[in-house]
């Protein structure tokens, strides 16, 4: 079992509304971005499944199976509607 990683999670749009948070620091043993979202979805009651979103790690699009390291900034990206 690895030690928890300290992560900064920033929330936008519907995820900010549903969590009531713009960001939070999370100590998590999640191995991947997908596991982290599952943990936070349970905590905050998010309505969107990961499969309908993208994820960014340190301001770059990343794979949901990407490993997480202490100091990473994670942003979950709900369906967008620019333009």
Partner 1 sequence: MFALTKEQIDEPAVVRSVESSGAGAIVVFAGRVRDKNEGRTVNRLEYEAFEPLCLHEGMRIIAEAEGMFEITAARCLHRTGGLSVGETAVLVAVAAGHRGPAFQACSYIIDQVKARLPIWKKEHYQDGTSGWVNCQSHTGAHCHK
For partner 1, the binding residues (CB under 8 A) are: 10, 12-14, 17, 47-49, 52, 54, 56, 59-61, 75, 77-83
CB 65 to partner 1: min, Å:
19
CB 9 to partner 1: min, Å:
12
CB 69 to partner 1: min, Å:
18
Between 70 and 80, CB nearer to partner 1: 80
The Cα–Cα gap between 26 and 10 comes to: 10
Between 23 and 31, CB nearer to partner 1: 23
- Of the candidates 69, 59, 68, the residue with the CA atom closest to the CA atom of residue 38: 68
The Cα–Cα gap between 11 and 78 comes to: 10
Is the distance from CB of 28 to CB of 4 less than 8 angstroms? yes
The Cα–Cα gap between 57 and 80 comes to: 17
């Amino acid at each position: 079992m690895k030690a928890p990683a300290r992560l900064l999670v920033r929330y936008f749009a519907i995820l900010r509304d549903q969590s009531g948070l713009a960001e939070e620091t999370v100590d998590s043993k999640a191995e991947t971005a997908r596991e982290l979202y599952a943990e936070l979805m349970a905590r905050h009651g998010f309505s969107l499944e990961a499969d309908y979103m993208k994820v960014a790690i340190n301001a770059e699009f990343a794979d949901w199976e990407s490993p997480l390291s202490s100091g990473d900034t994670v942003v979950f990206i709900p369906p967008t509607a620019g333009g």
